[in-house]
Chain A
Amino acid sequence: MLIALAIRLFTIVATVAVARRPAICRVVSMGGSILASAITGWLAVRVITSRAVIDGVLARHAASGIVFGYAVTPLSAWFLMVLALIAAPVAVYSIGYFAHAVPASRTATTGVGFNVLLGAVELVFVASDVVTFLFAWELMTLATAALVATDHEERSSRRAAYLYLVMSHVGTGCLVAGFLALASRAGSLSFSVLLTGDTVSGSLRHVLFVLFFVGFGVKAGLIPLHVWLPEAHPAAPSSVSALMSAVLITTGLYGLLRLCAFGLGVPSLDWGLAVMGVGALSAILGVLYALTENDVKRMLAYSTIEHAGIIVLGVGVAMMARASGRGDLAAVAMAASLYHVLNHAAFKGLLFLGAGGMAMGTGTRRIEEFGGLLRRLPWTGFFFLVGALAISGLPPLNGFASEWLLFQALLRGFASIPGLVRLNFPIGGALLALTSALAAACFVRAFGISFLALPRSRAAAEAPESPALMLVPQGYLAALCVGLGLFPGIVLQSLDRVLASLPGVQSPVALAPSSLAMASPRDVTDGVVPLGLAVAIGGGIIVGLLLAARRVSRRVPTWGCGGELTARTEYTATAFSKPLMMMFRAVYRPTREVEAMAEVSPYFPTEVRFRGRIEPTFERYIYTPLALAVLRVAVGLKVLQAGSLHAYLAYVLVLGVLLLIWLGGSI
C-alpha cells in the first residue's frame, strides 16, 4: 500500500517536472497511475483471497501516541479492486483523450489532479482511523473540484465546481460532527475501536445515523442531496467523469456501509426502512430525470443517481435483515449491493468513456445534434451498445446479475420478515422493476437517437472515430461487462470472503463459476446460469439465420410519406421521452411556451418559437430557499465587518479577555 502511495507521489512530481512536454507528461502521469492502480488491485485481490487483513502505519504522533494508519479489510479490498479495475482503463483512455480535450498548458495540472484523486480515494478506502479518513476525504473533494473546474473559462464549470465544493463541505461537516461525537464517546480515534458497534447507544445512535447518512449521502448522490451531480459530472473531462461516477460515488457508499449499516451496532428497522425509501426514491427519480435530459453526460449523471439508489436499496434490505436477525437474507442483499457496485463501475465507466468519444468527435454533448454516429464511430457505437444493454439490466450481461440478486433479496425479505413492514419489499420490487424498465427506455433513446438513422447536424455527419488508445479501454470494459454477466459465480465466490467479514451477515455457500445462486443453511435460492441463456439465444439466432438465409439485401430509401426524408423528419430525443414525460407529469411539472412571430399577419407566422421546460423541483423548492436564507443571515452579519482594522483588533481583544476570565477561573 505504501508503495502504491509512494508511486503516486513520485508520479505527481514527475508530472510537474515534465509539464512542458504535454505528450510525455500525459504518458508519465497516466502510466504512473496505472502502475499504482495495478499494485493496489493486486493487494486487494490478495486480501480477498487470503481473508487476512493487511494493515500498516502511515504516521505516528510521538507525543500522544496516536497512530495514523491504514487497514485493508475485505470490504475495503472489494472497493479497492473495483477502483483498480476501472482506474486503469480510464487512465489509458485519458492519454488519448487529454491530447484532444485538454489544452496543453493544463495537461500537467490535470494529470496531477488525477493522481491525487486516485490516491486520496484509495486512502479513504483503507483508512483505519478518523483523522486519516477525513484527511483523505477532504483531499478527494478538493482534487475532484479542481478537475471539475478544468475548463474554468466556462461559467458552467465554475458554477459546478463551486456547487460541488459547497455541498461536499456540508456533507463533510456532518461527518466531522458525527465522528467527533463518536470518538469522544469511545475515547479513541481508531476505527477498530469506534466501529465495533457498541460504543454508543440510545438517542445518540439515531442522531449519529442521521449525520452519517446525510454526510455520505451527499457524496453518493442520493436524493435530495444530489443537486451537485448533474452539474459536476458534465463539466469535468470525460475520463474524470467516468472516474467520478464509478468511483467517487462508491466512497459515499463505502462510508454508508461501514458506518450506518455496520458501524453503529445492529441497525433498527426504521433505519433500514429509511435507507430503503431513500434508495428507491433516488432510483426512480434518477431515471425519470435521465429520460428527459438532452445532454448525454447529464443523462449519465442522473443514471448514476439511479444506480446509487439501487445499491442503497440493497443496503437498506440488508439493514432490515440484520435488524430482524436474518443473516442469510442480509448476505444476499449485501451481495447484490456489492456486486452492483462493481457492475455499475464497469458499465458507467464504459458509457462515460463512450460519451467522451462522442463529444470529442462532434464537439457537442447534445443528443439532439447527434445521429447516424454508428457509421462514423462504429466501435464507439458498439461498445456504447454493450454498455446500454448492461445498464438496462438485460441478460446475460452484468446488470441483470446484480438486479436478479436484489430481486431475490426482496423476495426473500417478504417471505422471511414478519409483520406489516414486509409489504415494503414488493413495493420495492415493483419500483425496481419500473426503474430498470425505464432505464431500458432511456438507453434505447440514447443509443438510438445518437447512433442510428441520419445525422442531425453537420458535426455529426463528419465526426471522426476516436483513436485506438481511447477505444481499447472501452473494449476492455465492454468485455468486463459481458464477463461479469456470464460468470457471476466467480464474483460471488470473491464476495463470499467479503461477506464473511461483515458482522451479522451469514456467508452462504457459493456455487459454480457460471452460476448465480446463493445457498445458505436455511434454504437454497434459485439459480441462474446466464451462460446457458447466452447459449440458448445463440441457438435461437442460428435458427433465425437458417430460416432467413442471408441473401444480399436491396437498399432503398426509407418511405417519407411522399415527401423527402431528412434529418428534420426523424424522431427527436425529446419526442421519444414525451409520452413518459406526460405520464409522469406530477414529477416533472413541465411547462411550455409557444410563440409565433409574424410580420405581416398572425395567420402567416415567420417563425415559431417553442420552449419546453421541466421544473427543477429540488433546486427551486429546497435549495434556493435554503441558499437565500443563508445569504440573508450573512448579509445581516455583514454589519460586523466594519472595515476598520481597529474594530477587528478590538474583537480579538474583547474575546480574549472574556475567554481568559471564563476559563482562567476554572483551571
Chain B
Amino acid sequence: MTRDVLILCAAGMLVSAYLMVGQKALFTAIRLYAVQSLLLGTVAITMAIADRRDELFVMAALTITLKSALIPWFLMRVIDRIGIHREIEPFLNVPASLLVCLGLTAVGYRVSTGFPEGTQGVTHHLVGVALSMLLIGLFLMVTRKKAVTQILALLTVENAVFLVALGITSGMPLVVELGISFDVILAVLMLGILVHRIVDRFESMDVSRLSKLKG
C-alpha cells in the first residue's frame, strides 16, 4: 500500500514536470508547480507514517505550506502586477522539448539503478523520477526565456533534490532542510524584486536580453 502511494505520487510529479514543459500559460505552470509540491508533501507524509519518523511530518508541513501555497501565491501576484501572462517562444519548440525530456528521463533512470535499495523498495523509482525532474528543470532553465519560468524551473530542481534525499536516506537532517527552504524563499523574493527591474529596463521579462555577463 505504501509502495503504491509512493510510486503514484512520484509518477504524478514527473507528469507535472512534463506538463510544465508543454505549457505556455504562466498561471497554469505555477499551478502545476503547486500540485507537484503537494505530491511531494504526500510522499513525505507517507514515508513518515511508514518509517515512523516525526521530523518528516515537519518537513511535509513545511513543504506544503511554503511550496504549494505561499510561493505559488506570491508568483501569481508578481505576474498580475506585471501583466504578462504568457511565455514567449522558447528556444526549442514543444515537441522537440518533450523528446529531449524523454531522453533525460532515460538518463535519470539509468543512473538510479546504481543506488542501493531503501526500506520501502521504491528507491529505484523515487531516485529515477527525482533525477529526471532535476535534469528537466535544468533543461527548462536553458530553453525558456521568461524570468518567472526560470525560477519555476529552479524550484522544480529543488523539489527533485528533496525527493532524492527522501528516496535514498529518508530525508535530510532537519537543519539542512530548513536551510534549503530559507534559501528558496529568499530566491523567490529576490526574483520578485528583480522581475520588476528587468521589466522596467527591458519592458519585457525576456532574460535573453541580459547579455552583459561576459569577459
A–B contact with Cβ pairs below 8 Å: the answer is yes
> What is the interface of chain A, defined by CB distance below 8 A to chain B?
638, 641-646, 648-650, 652-653, 656-657, 660-661, 663-667
Interface residue ranges of B169-215 to A (CB < 8 Å): 207-208, 210-215
**Contact of B139 with A by CB under 8 A:** yes
Q: Are A641 and B135 in contact (CB under 8 A)?
A: no
Assess whether B210 is in contact with A645, with CB atoms less than 8 Å apart.
yes
Q: Are A667 and B111 in contact, with the CB atoms below 8 A?
A: yes
13 CB < 8 A contacts A-B: A641-B213, A643-B214, A644-B211, A646-B141, A646-B143, A646-B145, A653-B138, A653-B139, A653-B142, A657-B104, A660-B108, A660-B111, A664-B107
Measured between alpha carbons, how far is A542 from B118 in the docked complex, in Å?
94
Residue of A nearest to B106 (CB): A661
Assess A645 versus B138: contact at CB under 8 Å? Given A657-B104, A664-B111: no
The one of A643, A650, A653, A664 that contacts B211, using a Cβ cutoff of 8 Å? A643
Q: Which residue of A lies closest to B145 (CB)?
A: A646
Q: How far is the CA of A664 from the CA of B110 in the complex (A)?
A: 7
Q: Could you tell me the distance between the alpha carbons of A375 and B192 in the complex, rounded to whole angstroms?
A: 71
Cα A641 to Cα B212 with chains together (Å): 10
Per-residue A-contact encoding for B15-45, CB less than 8 Å = 1, 0 else: 0000000000000000000000000000000
Q: Indicate the member of A638, A663, A664 with the most B CB atoms within 10 Å.
A: A664
Give B137-182 interface residues, CB cut-off 8 Å to A: 138-139, 141-143, 145
Interface string of B91-113 (1 = CB under 8 A from A): 10000000000001001101101
Enumerate chain A residues within 8 angstroms of B138, measured Cβ to Cβ: 649, 652-653, 656
Does B71 make an interface contact (CB < 8 A)? no
Q: Quick check: is B83 within 8 A (CB to CB) of the other chain?
A: no
Shortest CB-to-CB span from A654 to chain B, Å, is: 9
- The distance in angstroms between the C-alpha atoms of A638 and B214, with both chains bound, is 8
Q: Establish whether residues A661 and B142, one from each chain, have CB atoms under 8 Å apart when the complex forms.
A: no
Identify B214's interface contact among A641, A653, A657, CB under 8 A. Answer: A641
| CB of B73 within 8 Å of the partner chain | no
B74 within 8 Å of A (CB atoms): no
From the candidates A638, A650, A664, name the one contacting B142 in the complex (CB within 8 A): A650
Query: Is B114 within 8 A of A664, CB to CB?
Result: yes
Majority SS at the chain B contact face: helix
A268 CB, nearest partner CB in chain B, Å: 45
Q: Which residue of A lies closest to B115 (CB)?
A: A667
Chain A residues positioned under 8 Å from B91 (CB to CB): 646
A661's partner among B107, B113, B210 (CB-CB below 8 A) is B107
Are B135 and A657 in touch, CB under 8 angstroms?
yes
Cα-based distance from A650 to B90 in the complex (angstroms)? 14
Q: Which residues of B contact A648 (CB under 8 A)?
A: 213
- Taking CB atoms, residues of chain B closer than 8 Å to A653 are 135, 138-139, 141-142
18 new A-B contacts, CB < 8 A, other than A642-B214, A645-B213, A653-B141, are: A638-B214, A638-B215, A642-B211, A644-B208, A645-B207, A645-B208, A646-B142, A648-B213, A649-B141, A649-B142, A652-B138, A656-B138, A657-B107, A657-B135, A660-B108, A661-B107, A661-B111, A664-B107
Q: B131 within 8 Å of A by Cβ?
A: yes
Whether A643 pairs with B213 at a CB distance below 8 angstroms is yes
Which A-B residue pairs are the 9 nearest by beta carbons? Answer: A667-B114, A664-B111, A643-B214, A643-B211, A641-B214, A653-B138, A649-B142, A650-B142, A641-B215
List chain A residues, Cβ under 8 A from B210: 645
The distance from the CB of A511 to the nearest CB of chain B, in whole angstroms, is 63
How many angstroms between the C-alpha atoms of A426 and B13 in the bound complex? 80
In chain B, positions 40-80 with a C-beta closer than 8 Å to chain A are none
- How many angstroms from the CA of A643 to the CA of B139 in the assembled complex? 18
Do the beta carbons of A646 and B135 come within 8 Å of each other?
A: no
Distance of A660 Cα from B131 Cα, bound (Å): 10
B141 CB to closest chain A CB (Å) equals 5
Which residues of the other chain, B, contact A656 by a CB distance below 8 angstroms? 135, 138
Q: What is the minimal beta-carbon distance from A642 to any residue of chain B, in angstroms?
A: 6
Chain B nearest CB: distance from A321 CB in Å?
52
Shortest Cβ distance from A62 into chain B, in angstroms?
13
How far does the Cβ of B112 sit from chain A's closest Cβ, in whole Å?
Answer: 8
Contacts of A666 in B (CB 8 A): 114
Q: How far is the CA of A641 from the CA of B131 in the complex (A)?
A: 28
Q: Is the CB of B139 within 8 A of A660?
A: no
* Shortest beta-carbon distance from A73 to chain B in Å: 39
Q: Which residues of B contact A643 (CB under 8 A)?
A: 211-214
Q: How far in angstroms is the closest Cβ of chain B from A634?
A: 8
Q: In the assembly, what is the distance between CA of A645 and CA of B108, in Å? A: 25
Q: Chain A contacts of B107 at CB under 8 A?
A: 657, 660-661, 664
Give Cα distance in the complex from A660 to B103, angstroms: 13
| Closest Cβ neighbor of B114 among chain A residues | A667
Q: Is the CB of A646 within 8 A of B208?
A: yes
Complex-state Cα separation, A425 to B114, whole angstroms = 62
Chain A residue contacts of B141, Cβ below 8 A: 646, 649, 653
| B214 CB contacts on chain A under 8 angstroms | 638, 641-643
Inter-chain contacts of B145 with A (CB < 8 A): 646
Q: Nearest chain B CB to A660's CB is how many angstroms away?
A: 5
Once the chains are docked, how many angstroms separate the CA of A657 from the CA of B104? 8
| Measured CA separation A47–B107 after assembly (Å) | 60
Tell me the complex Cα distance, A652–B111, Å: 18
Chain A residues with CB under 8 A of B207: 645-646
The smallest C-beta distance from A319 to any residue of chain B, in angstroms, reads: 45
- In the complex, what residues of B have CB within 8 A of residue A649's CB? 138, 141-142
Q: How far is the CA of A661 from the CA of B108 in the complex (A)?
A: 9
List, in ascending order, chain A residues with CB within 8 A of B110's CB.
661, 664-665
Kindly provide the distance from the CB of B131 to the nearest chain A CB, expressed in whole angstroms. 7
